[in-house]
Amino acid sequence: MKRLEFHISYICQHKCIFCSEADRMDNFKNYPLSLLQIKTILIDRMKKWYNHVNFTGWEPTITPWFLELLKFTKKLWYKIYVWTNWVMFYSEKFAKESLKYIDELSLSVHWYSLNTCWKQIWLKYHFNNFPIIVNNIEKYKANNNFFFLNIVINKYNYFDTEKIINFVIETWYDFKQVLVSNIAPEWSAKHNYIDIVFDLNEFRNYIPNIIKKCNDNWKILRFFWLPTCILEEDFIEYSNDEHWEERHTIERFLNKNWKVSLIDIYSPDNSRERTFVDKCNNCKWKKNPCTWIFKKYLDFYEF
């Protein structure tokens, strides 16, 4: 499978405390991609045998031509993955149309109550809207839809991961896989990392119960951006590093002349912003499958 990560949007309604895209949105919100640009690139990559595209950006679904883009992309025989904060699925019409074309849908939920929702994204109404959104998705899902749950863990919710999973299960959102993602210290998240970083060795204590919760409910589980040794021998299969596939990312970029352009980034692994430490030297997981610890993390905790 040849994977394409396509940042098609630089606007978002959420104000997530861990956002790694806010600076880019500020830089490029006045430089939207046109539908023609995206179509042209998709055709070009199809000719180069790409067959899987992830529409992301933040927030991709609120672009006015998103449904047209889905229809066009499916005609090119791409497998379509959408990473979303799910706001548009409050519209029954949008859910009905979009789910005809989406193969994989990842919904981000980082909270389990009104107060924790406010703490994570600064928008309380999303908590109240969630049952309607789930109902729309479940009502119009197709046989080929594969649903993900994405949880970004940070200082204010890493100890509540099991509660978040349980909350979403109880809303009857029929997701198949959970991605528990450590915060990536990039862009805005790098600026306020001191306020959201947490001790990974402390998080280690919660991992067995998270795994049990998922196994008991027949959910696939992956931990993203975590060094493999945090999972230890018994749980290595839950590391997303072991399941990583190489990909190309297309996104907005400021070139050396301060002009806005598009850049194509090849990622053979997910080791960006990460480094080895002394304890890694004799580790059997070094490089395979582990891709190390975030450099910025070492400014605040030992590892």
CATH code at 75?
3.20.20.70
pLDDT tens digit string along 57-94?
Answer: 889 999 999 999 999 999 999 999 999 988 899 999 99
pLDDT at 23 over 90: no
CB 155 within 8 A of CB 198: yes
At residue 72, the pLDDT reads 98
pLDDT at 28 over 90: no
If residue 149 lies in a helix (H) or strand (E), which one and from where to where?
strand 146-153
CA proximity to 112, closest of 139, 130, 138: 130
At residue 215, the pLDDT reads 97
Please tell me whether residue 199 adopts helix, strand or coil conformation: coil
Please compute the mean of the pLDDT values over residues 128-133 and round it to a whole number: 94
Total domains in the chain come to 1
Tokens (6 digits) for 77: 């025989």
pLDDT tens digit string along 278-291?
Answer: 888 888 887 667 87
pLDDT at 175 over 90: yes
Boundaries of domain holding 136: 3-299
pLDDT at 2 over 80: yes
- What rounded mean pLDDT belongs to the chain? 91
At residue 240, the pLDDT reads 84
The b-or-e profile of 212-234 (16+ CB within 10 A means b, else e) is ebbeeeebebbbbbbbbbbbeee
CB atoms within 10 A of CB 197: 21
At residue 129, the pLDDT reads 93
Which pTM does this prediction carry?
0.93
